[in-house]
Copies of this chain bind each other. A is one copy, B any other.
Amino acid sequence: MDKDRWKTGITRINKGEIRVRGYSIVEMMGKLSFSEAVFLILKGELPSREESEMMRAILVSSIDHGVTPPSVLSTRNVISAGNPLNAAVAAGVLTIGDVHGGAIERCAKILQEWGKRPDEASIIAKELVSDFIYKRRRIPGFGHRLHETDPRTIKLFQIAQDLNFAKRHIQLAQAVEEELSRSLGRKLPINVDGAIAAVISDMGFDWRLGKGFFIISRVAGLVAHAYEEMTREKPMRRLGDLNFEYDGPGEREIPKK
């Protein structure tokens, strides 16, 4: 039976006692901010004051981005079709994929892998950028559809600077931004995904957790959108008749066998 036993190092439950990573939930409820609790449960240890501040800023930064992202569309659809709140939020989380929130994971992977090289950030950035240009691949975490300069990135890096927090991965991300500008002859700024990737890498988080930070933050926005849809709109919203077209085969009949 041992192989079927579930092991966990996250939370221990006993009658009248709940301990997360060793700390009593009651003590946590009195002393920790929610972002500190999130840091603790993901990392296994309490954050430093700087890490706590960075974590807070990350979670606030990604809480919502309006009604257009695909995750919001899914959430609102699921409510609209007559489903419970949790199902709607689940559909939104399900929609957070490689091209929506997923750049955090992919950018953090690159920063962590290249960041292991013994060279200076600017040297690594040069090789990294020329490698990606040579392979004709985009570097995830740089450039944004809408915002030429993402205000969240600027603020995140400013907070990092004020706290004297920036370490290897933030430095590398900024060096890549500079190098991209030099190589391409135009600005391809770090976007908020890239900035978060750099910050969590400097906090020592595994890149495979990348999407997690975005999910934890954005879930609050998804709940707000689900509730707005539920209370402001009529059920069974559909695409209007003019918004689609059929371009498949014309009328035909099933031949006799």
Structural contact, A7 and B230, CB atoms closer than 8 A: no
Q: Does A219 contact B (CB under 8 A)?
A: yes
Measured in the bound complex, the distance between the Cα atoms of B97 and A81 in whole Å is 5
Out of B25, B42, B224, B243, which one reaches A42, CB within 8 Å? B224
**Stretch with Cβ within 8 A of B (4 or more), from A53-61, A129-137, A168-176, A180-188:** A53-61
List, sorted by A's number, 25 A–B pairs whose CB atoms are closer than 8 Å. A1-B240, A6-B76, A6-B239, A11-B65, A16-B147, A27-B253, A29-B156, A34-B59, A41-B224, A44-B249, A46-B254, A46-B255, A66-B246, A67-B239, A73-B74, A74-B91, A83-B84, A83-B95, A84-B87, A86-B96, A87-B87, A90-B93, A91-B91, A206-B231, A212-B223
Measured in the bound complex, the distance between the Cα atoms of B25 and A154 in whole Å is 12
Measured in the bound complex, the distance between the Cα atoms of B30 and A254 in whole Å is 10
Measured in the bound complex, the distance between the Cα atoms of B79 and A70 in whole Å is 10
Interface extent on A, as a size class? Answer: 35 or more
Structural contact, A102 and B82, CB atoms closer than 8 A: yes
Measured in the bound complex, the distance between the Cα atoms of B254 and A187 in whole Å is 32
- Residues of chain B within 8 A (CB-CB) of A238 are 68-70
Structural contact, A67 and B97, CB atoms closer than 8 A: no
A165 to chain B, nearest CB (A): 14
